[in-house]
A and B are shown apart, each in its own frame.
Chain A
């Protein structure tokens, strides 16, 4: 990918021919290992392969557990933030040589990992893309330690920013007020993620796997109230901004604006999602990006009577709110 691209879905294997991959991030001690042990030992009747990082110590001896050293490779494609996980490309290639299918694959990252390379691997490598699809990024946080982690390590914010699902674990160790504060901190970074509470990583496996969170039609699951939330001003760190406009969006203007924006600011834009109304088009156009890698297509029709408002959310750092707002508003067709 030499540049920002927005492509229609390519003719290829249907989504159900690909194996869903769940990325599990979170700091050491957040409870990832407890969760993985549960997934591997619970009697759910499904077959999951688990790729654990070099520091992982799973209590179960299972031939579906693969050790991996996180190897982050830069792509020579002119896209500065385009990094992939070389070890994942190899391991997934090897897993697909096995007889019998997996119901899913779970990739655990080290506590300090940036989730971007692992997510980008599923968009950039054609061999991986043909066989596997990124299902969701699940981030596990320790309710008691999260405030401190957010202060002392930028990766903690990044892991929440990338998440489709955030599990706030060890809720029994905090008061209701502390939990509410932790939730508010998570929401300030990522208003779109689904939140779960847990005490000993006891989240039903079904709520984490097979979420299809990267499917464009899931973008609709964006909380319709997210725009009404009071948006805080953050002096630094990772946060989100969102906008909605009432007039339809000119596809060419939008493509040109978002393409330029992602090319220029992609390194700071961790995730972008939008649902767009095109003039004279009854279907909604859904759009998402991980850094500079973008994807967009028409999804189902607007509901009858539903206001055709176009919405966009940016999660990232150093977001220039007035500039982004003006840019998005200028994509509208003339009044």
Chain B
């Protein structure tokens, strides 16, 4: 893309640059604050109300995982110091749990306040007050965790498949979704119809939950680190190719079909994707720092951030879709204001 393009970040961006890799980004559930997790153990918050930045030291090493807290204004984080922590809306930092000599590699939460973290082979569940609900063991280290949209089930990926648990079940008899190989990032279909994992072998594997049908989606030139369903689950957007790859989850599913590809042609890999919460629009970040928005129906592309920077490590949408957060591997972050204004 040429330098004469009009990038949204120039007119609508709130950029900042920090001295450590930006690892993850998200908005709180009330949509008041954008949070960026950094490799120096801090969370950097951007207040959407007053436009101010603040820094909060959460971990001794790197922040490895970030999610909104169940409560408005708060965030939960996992670190390589073995801590699972909470930053409340008033700035208070507290431990939810600590794990000696281990890393807290994945965290997740539900709207109703259930919290989860993954430490080695175990997923730990907590209620909103931080009381342990249960610990779910897996045959090997967990590659990713994800709640379903209602917060009733949680899926964990690992070697040779994924395991699906009911959060509130009294007796734990999980459903095992098996497929040979190492499964990493994992996503739940928004209607709860399917689970999809990204594998070590540059491919996705999905399971249709109604009948256990396997869904193989392959052909990627590199590992898929980021996957995101559109709001109603019609499409699954992924990174890992030199275009935004969109698999159709309608009309029988993605099996045996070619995916749609958007915004390709420059030969640069997509490194992060995030689907808009209200519209069939996907945000995609590339390995050269380029960020775009793409309308899936028209395939129209809107440039957000120019190329020439570090790889985009994370993208996150505000709950209403009014703001987009972008983060890159060298510590460059931005909040893009997409609200209509004069």
- Tell me the A residues contacting B by CB distance below 8 Å: 63, 66-67, 69, 71, 73-77, 84, 86-87, 89-91, 94-100, 125-127
Contacts and interface: CB of A to CB of B under 8 A. Distances in A.
B272 to A, nearest CB: 14
A71 B61 contact: no
Given A73-B182, A76-B201, A84-B200, A97 B21 contact: yes
A99 B19 contact: yes
A100 B61 CA distance: 11
11 contacts: A63-B81, A69-B121, A73-B181, A73-B200, A76-B201, A86-B182, A97-B80, A99-B20, A99-B40, A99-B41, A127-B223
A246 B80 CA distance: 55
Interface of B: 19-21, 23, 38-41, 60-64, 80-81, 101-103, 105, 120-121, 140-141, 143, 159, 180-182, 199-201, 222-223
Contacts of B64: 94, 97
B200 A86 contact: yes
A76 B181 contact: yes
A73 B123 CA distance: 21
A317 to B, nearest CB: 27
A73 B182 CA distance: 7
Contacts of B103: 66, 91, 94
Nearest to B203: A76
Given A71-B141, A86-B140, A126-B223, A98 B80 contact: yes
B39 A99 contact: yes
A73 B200 CA distance: 9
Contacts of B23: 97
A86 B40 CA distance: 25
Nearest to A84: B200
A127 B239 CA distance: 14
Nearest to B142: A90
Given A69-B141, A86-B141, A90-B105, A98 B200 contact: no
A126 B61 contact: no
A76 B199 CA distance: 10
Nearest to B60: A63
Nearest to A96: B21
10 closest A-B pairs by CB: A99-B20, A99-B40, A98-B62, A97-B62, A99-B39, A97-B39, A73-B182, A76-B181, A67-B101, A98-B39
Contacts of A86: 140-141, 159, 182, 200
A94 B81 CA distance: 11
Contacts of B143: 90
Contacts of A127: 223
A50 to B, nearest CB: 13
A308 B252 CA distance: 63
Contacts of A73: 159, 181-182, 200
B159 A71 contact: yes
A87 B141 contact: yes
A90 B141 contact: yes
Nearest to B81: A63
A112 B140 CA distance: 20
Contacts of A89: 200
Given A63-B81, A99-B39, 17 more contacts: A67-B101, A71-B141, A73-B159, A75-B200, A76-B199, A84-B200, A94-B80, A97-B23, A97-B39, A98-B21, A98-B80, A99-B38, A99-B40, A99-B41, A99-B62, A125-B223, A127-B223
A71 B180 CA distance: 14
Contacts of A84: 200
Most B CB within 10 A of own CB, among A63, A71, A75, A99: A99
Nearest to B182: A73
B140 to A, nearest CB: 6
Contacts of A87: 141
A22 B182 CA distance: 25
Contact of B61 (A63, A67, A76): A63
Nearest to B121: A69
Contact of B201 (A77, A90, A91, A100): A77
Contacts of B105: 90, 94
Contacts of A96: 21
B61 A75 contact: no
A75 B80 contact: no
Contacts of A69: 120-121, 141
A125 B62 CA distance: 22
Contacts of B63: 97
A71 B39 contact: no
